[in-house]
Amino acid sequence: MEEAKPEFLYEEHPDHPGWYRWGLRNSDRYNTFLGEMMVRVEDGICRVRILPERRHSNLGNNVHGGAMLGFIDVALFAAARSFGLIEAGTAVTLDLNTHFMGAGRIGELLEARVELLRETGRLLFMRGLVVQDQGPVAEFSGTIRKPTKR
């Protein structure tokens, strides 16, 4: 994988062999609200993990739907980057379709498993499943428009 941009973090995780840290170095951007994110690719699937905290919870003490949607959106980009399809930068989400199937639990690893369905000159079509130990939490599909080359 090519070297990351200075504002972007993509490096081997020192505490989790085979996993990479993924995110922004600047702590005043939205992505950092999700907490530490880890990624790895195996068998064509990008696995993206976070550990939901109280700040991600709703009044039922489960993962808030908005936090889940934010995680899924960022997971699409983590996967695209991990697949080597985009660099850190200005790609954008064109659409994101999500079906919630269960409550995400606070304090348990939440994992998005993302696969690439198709790549065109400008677009990435992706889908995935969010899981925890108890099983599926959500399924999703989304389209990313790659950055314009300068």
CATH number at residue 74: 3.10.129.10
Q: What mean pLDDT comes out for the span 70-93?
A: 89
Q: Structural domain tally of the chain?
A: 1
Asked if the structure places residue 140 within a domain, the reply is yes
- 86: which residues sit within 8 A by CB, 6+ positions away? 77, 80, 124, 144, 146, 147
User: pLDDT tier at 4 (50, 70, 90 boundaries)?
Assistant: very low
Write the pLDDT tens digit of every residue in 34-49: 778 899 999 999 999 9
The model's pLDDT over 5-29, given as tens digits with 9 standing for 90+, comes to 566 778 888 888 999 887 766 666 5
pLDDT at res. 12 = 87
* Residue 70 neighbours by CB distance under 10 Å: 16
Residue 5 backbone phi and psi in degrees, to 5: -70, 155
Residue 42 lies in a domain: yes
